[in-house]
Amino acid sequence: MFKIVILAFDGCMAGAISAPADLFATANHIKAAQDSDFVSNPLFSIITASPDGQPVSCGSGHTFSPDMAISDVGHADLVIVPGLLIASEDELLSRIRDLGTISDFLIRMHQQGSKIAAGCSGAFILAESGLLNGAEATTTWWLTEAFCRRYPDVTVRSQQMIVESDALVTAAAGTSYLDFSLLLIGKFAGPHIARLCAAYLCIDGPREAQTAYAIPHYRQMRDPFIENADKWIRENMSSSADIPALAKHLGVSARTLVRRFKAATGQPPSSYIQSIRIDRAKYLLQNTRSGITQIAGEVGYQDEDAFRRAFRKLVSHTPTSYRQKSNSF
């Protein structure tokens, strides 16, 4: 039997506790239906634990009563760290400062060989423990910049939905806990059981990237240099928006441009320019009847195939499938 421990603490997302629990419980039911021996000996034992064993107030305002305190947790095959339901970076940092005891717990479990999975802003809680130093990780798209600034020793793969780094698993925004739960069910119980869980619960998957859901530049940079660059890129994306032209407009060398962009946004200017172009293309696909060739030209791609490749890389959909998916809502 695999022991799953799901953490609960004030401000966490209620769904990040209940949904993984439901998924692992569904895997138990599916396996029991296939083999009667699993009725009395299920695949997964699922418990919840809070820092002190007391009920917690989730971000939604609902109260959740855990099974035990983290100090009472012995062995675990998997520890799940939920994200916090917060509205700003300042609120997040204030919250994680109050969760110091969880860092010690995660370090202890990691030393005992537990796999640890953290979804959404839960990646910050995992990173606070230092376990992600030197590793790769992802987090929710709108807090990527904050994550890069706070944890410079972590290599961030912000476009990816799930990043595995040895025994540490991090997942992207919001409902990515569905994705990592299915991934981990597949690892513990086999891919067939994971696929059946997804089918019974009507979960699409596997989702490879969160870029289809991201709103680029959700946060204003509050950096006049970047804001000036952003404005010029948007005004010139159909023609001259490249690094030499941008550097000339800003009156800096290409090397300085790259350094300033990486420091402020966590990415080089070439990636920033491409993200703006693809973001505009997403808008045009959603809100106009323009053809793919026309849209490619409007956002600065003279080669339609190059546009299609770039769009698929960032959004994990072809332009056509993205338009169809967007119009289905």
- Structural domains of the chain in order of their starting residue, each with its CATH number: 2-200 (3.40.50.880), 224-326 (1.10.10.60)
Q: How confident is the model at residue 313 (pLDDT cuts 50, 70, 90)?
A: confident
- Block residue for tokens 């190059």: 306
pLDDT tens per residue across span 34-56: 877 776 789 999 999 999 999 99
Of 161, 159, 152, the residue nearest 262 (C-alpha):
152
For residue 226, the model assigns a pLDDT of: 87
For residue 283, the model assigns a pLDDT of: 84
For residue 218, the model assigns a pLDDT of: 41
For residue 215, the model assigns a pLDDT of: 61
pLDDT tens per residue across span 144-197: 989 999 999 999 988 888 999 999 999 998 899 999 999 999 999 999 999 999
For residue 34, the model assigns a pLDDT of: 86
Residue 322 has pLDDT above 90, yes or no: no
**More confident position, 294 or 276:** 294
Answer for the pair 100, 92: CB distance below 8 angstroms, yes or no: no
Beta strands in the chain (DSSP E): 2-7, 44-50, 56-57, 63-64, 68-69, 78-81, 115-119, 136-137, 155-156, 162-165, 168-171
Mean pLDDT of 273-286: 88
Answer for the pair 59, 12: CB distance below 8 angstroms, yes or no: yes
Q: How confident is the model at residue 206 (pLDDT cuts 50, 70, 90)?
A: low
Of 111, 106, 155, 145, the residue nearest 129 (C-alpha):
106
Please provide the average confidence, as pLDDT, over all residues in the chain: 90
